[in-house]
Amino acid sequence: MTFKHKLSRRLAQLRDARLYAALGGGLILAACEQQPSALGPDFGVLSISLTPRSDTVLVGDSMRLTATVVMNNNQTPRALTWTSGMSAMASVSQAGTVHGLHAGSGFIVASSGNKKDSAAVTVVSQTPPPPVPVALVAVSPASSTVRIGAAKQLTATPEDGSGTPLAGRTITWASNNAGVATVSASGLVTSVGVGAATITATSEGVSGTAAVTVATVPVASVTVSPATVSLVVGAAAQLSATTKDSAGNVLTGRTITWASSNMAVATVSATGVLSGIAAGSATITATSEGQSATATVTVSSVPVASVIVSPATAGGGHRDDHGDERREERDRGGDGVERPRGLGDRQPCDRDCPGGRHDAAQRYHEGLGRRGADRADDRVGEQ
């Protein structure tokens, strides 16, 4: 075999060896990319999964987390490392047991190599947290006016420092003037008398107030009864006034003032008693809280009911044509005693009525004239 031939054969062998080496190296690299090495950073761990994914534990209690580890080529799972991401609130053992320390939440982590998984854990206190303190009590409405006999509902809202309403808080109610207004345990205000009162609502030592004014129902109308009155001089009559509200309800206990438009004719007392003074007319007015009503009164003189003339004859003992009959003037006034009056029994007349004597004398002469005429007629008949 020539040298040239040997050289060619040698080069061919070297070329085949390099090819085989390249192929073997490629296969080794491919195998390394597909399968993690037991000596690599993941220690052959493909994945870690914790159950439960989230859980709750009470302060002082414990719970167990379970880790599922998937290994390469069914290798035996390597040991896990457990850590708490919420160490102030919960601790975890290397067996995955979580122990609650203080209320809060966070994560528990299990790892092996570069693989890890976590579970959310919430630690709850066995006793509820203390309530948010009341910072303000708002009473609504802050002010109101109530009529006597009426009621008004108030509401109180406890609030925290940021103005957030606080539910379920106990509220007590009080009035500083029970003679004006009282308040129930539910905040219902009832009016008692005219005046002002302060209503206080208290919750956890914090108070709020509302101002309440109690007023009377205003008088809307006044009626006087009777509306017309007729009197004689010296007589009296009782008037009455009725006050009503706008709904027509009778109002009691209201002050009423009385006045007469003509006190020379009629006067009226503070209680509505009317008195006739002299003949004429007057208007009586009753007023209450700016509302008025009137009554009309007419006063007349005492009338003459009858006239008695006595004696019917004067002098000589003669009697007139009517025998023992007498014309009598009877007066129904005064003490009511009927008295016959004539020349012999005339009522005295003072200096202020000079006509009284003239009238009596005139009646006397008229009687004489009638008797003289009667006698003359008698004599003519006898002839």
In this prediction, residues 56-60 reach a mean pLDDT of 92
Answer yes or no: is pLDDT of 248 > 50. yes
How open is the CA angle 103-108-112, to the nearest 5 degrees?
165
Across the beta sheet with 250-251, the strand order is: 221-225, 240-244, 250-251
Helix H or strand E segment including 61: none
| CB of 191 closer than 8 Å to CB of 208 | no
Which region among 219-233, 288-302, 340-354 has the lowest average model confidence (pLDDT)?
340-354
Which pLDDT tens digit goes with each residue over 145-169? 998 889 999 999 999 999 999 999 9
DSSP code at position 27 = H
d(CA 202, CA 170): 8
Query: What is the pLDDT at residue 113?
Result: 78
- Burial, 189: exposed, middle or buried (Cβ in 10 Å; 0-12, 13-18, 19+)? buried
Query: Is 211 in contact with 196 (CB distance < 8 Å)?
Result: yes
Give the pLDDT confidence score for residue 33 in this predicted structure.
Answer: 40
Q: 353 is written with which tokens?
A: 């009525």
- Rounded CA-CA distance 209/201 in Å is 6
Whole-prediction pTM value? 0.43
CB of 63 within 8 A of CB of 123? Answer: no
**Strand pairing category for 228-232 and 291-300:** parallel
Q: What percent of the chain has pLDDT over 70?
A: 70
pLDDT at 1: 56
Provide φ and ψ at 260, rounded to 5°. -110, 140
Distance from C-alpha of 121 to C-alpha of 84, rounded to nearest angstrom: 10
Q: How confident is the model at residue 6 (pLDDT cuts 50, 70, 90)?
A: low
Q: Could you give the CA distance from residue 73 to residue 111 in angstroms, rounded to a whole number?
A: 19
pLDDT score of 24 more than 70 = no
80: number of CA atoms within 13 Å, CB side?
A: 28
- Cα distance between residue 168 and residue 165, in whole Å: 10
Burial class (CB in 10 A: 0-12, 13-18, 19+), 197: buried
pLDDT digits (tens, 9 = 90+) for 203-222: 999 999 999 999 988 999 99
Burial of 322 (0-12, 13-18, 19+ CB in 10 A): exposed
Are 88 and 21 contacting, i.e. CB atoms less than 8 angstroms apart? no
Nearest 5 degrees, angle CA 38-CA 41-CA 94? 95
Contact 208, 197 (CB under 8 A): no
CA-wise closest residue to 201 among 175, 179, 177, 180: 175
Look at residue 192 and tell me whether its pLDDT is greater than 60. yes
Tell me if 171 sits within 8 A of 134, measured CB to CB: no
Q: How many helices (H) and strands (E) does the chain have?
A: 2, 28
Local structure of residue 310 (DSSP, 8 states): -
Rounded to the nearest integer, the mean pLDDT of the chain is: 79
pLDDT attached to residue 363:
54
- Answer with the residue of higher pLDDT: 307 or 250: 250
Report the b/e string of 58-90 with b at 16+ CB within 10 A: ebeeebebebebebbeeeeebebebebebeebb
Specify the pLDDT at position 8.
61
Q: Report d(CA 195, CA 177) in Å as an integer.
A: 9
Residue type, 210: A
Q: What does the angle CA 369 – CA 371 – CA 376 come to, to the nearest 5 degrees?
A: 95
